[in-house]
Copies of this chain bind each other. A is one copy, B any other.
Amino acid sequence: MTTSPSGGSLAGSGDAGKKLRPARTNATKQKLFEASMELIGERGAAGVTVDEIATAAGVSKGTVYYNFGSKSDLIAQLLRHGVDILLARLLSVRDDSADPLAAMEEMIGQAMDFMAEYPSFARLWVSENWRTPSEWQDTFAELRGRLLAVIGSAIDSVAAVYPVDSGVSRGSLETAIFGACFVVGLDRQTYNPERTREQSVAAIMASMRGYVVKQPPAQA
């Protein structure tokens, strides 16, 4: 029985100076994350073998099981890792001043950048997110909640400043925007590479602009 670390993601949080303890860098985990993100994004979690992942990461199969307890764990940690990155980007948008609509637009832009940079993560997410009895059900529920909370609070900021359409529930709007980010980002990657970042952001922002009220829509 190998004494594996198998723990959380590659935090390396409070280990500044010492240089030795945290077992070198987490370069191996990082490489495994990158390799599996790529492969799993392309062919799905079930379509990729542990051997392939190990080879792609330039590492032996045993190392995968040393660093992660199982294929399933690897994927769960991969999901957390990706969401951590996305969350960091979304939270980098400082709401403090200015127009909350502009903040929203910047957040969507950050999301589009993320999708462009980590399309494989986006594919993994949409591939596995809605499976009903899934090994990662709880992981997804938690991560989804964390992401939606950020979007939700951005929507709240808008609703606090602008008059909004009360017929649109915040929850549904969150979901629609969140989902649109993934789908528009992926579609751009797969089917419409000529589409610009701005076009994509504008299309998603349309729902925010429709959320803030104008005069009642002109009874045709």
Q: Which of A107-156 contact B (CB under 8 A)?
A: 119, 122-123, 126-133, 141, 144
Contact with B along A161-196 (1 / 0, CB 8 A): 110010111011101101110111011111110010
Question: How many chain copies does the complex carry?
Answer: 2
> By the criterion CB–CB under 8 Å, are A132 and B190 in contact?
yes
Interface size class of A (residues with CB under 8 A): 35 or more
CA distance A132 to B42 in the complex (A): 6
Q: Tell whether A61 is near chain B: CB-to-CB under 8 Å.
A: no
A189: chain B residues at CB < 8 Å are 130
A94 close to B (CB within 8 Å): no
Inter-subunit contact A202/B168 (CB<8 Å): yes
What is the predominant secondary structure among interface residues of chain A facing chain B? helix
Q: Considering the chains assembled together, what is the distance between the CA atoms of A204 and B97 in angstroms?
A: 29
Query: Across the interface, which residues of B come within 8 angstroms of A128, CB to CB?
Result: 44, 127
Provide the bound-state CA to CA distance between A17 and B119, in Å.
52
Is residue A211 within 8 Å, beta carbon to beta carbon, of the partner chain?
A: yes
Contact A44 B179 (CB under 8 A): no
CB A35 to nearest CB in B, in angstroms, measures 16
Find out whether the CB atom of A175 lies under 8 angstroms from the CB atom of B202.
no
Interface residues of A (CB under 8 A from B): 42-47, 98-99, 101-102, 119, 122-123, 126-133, 141, 144, 161-162, 165, 167-169, 171-173, 175-176, 178-180, 182-184, 186-192, 195, 199-200, 202-212, 214-215, 217-218, 220
The 7 lowest CB-CB distance pairs between A and B, nearest first, are A179-B183, A210-B210, A209-B210, A214-B214, A172-B203, A99-B220, A206-B210
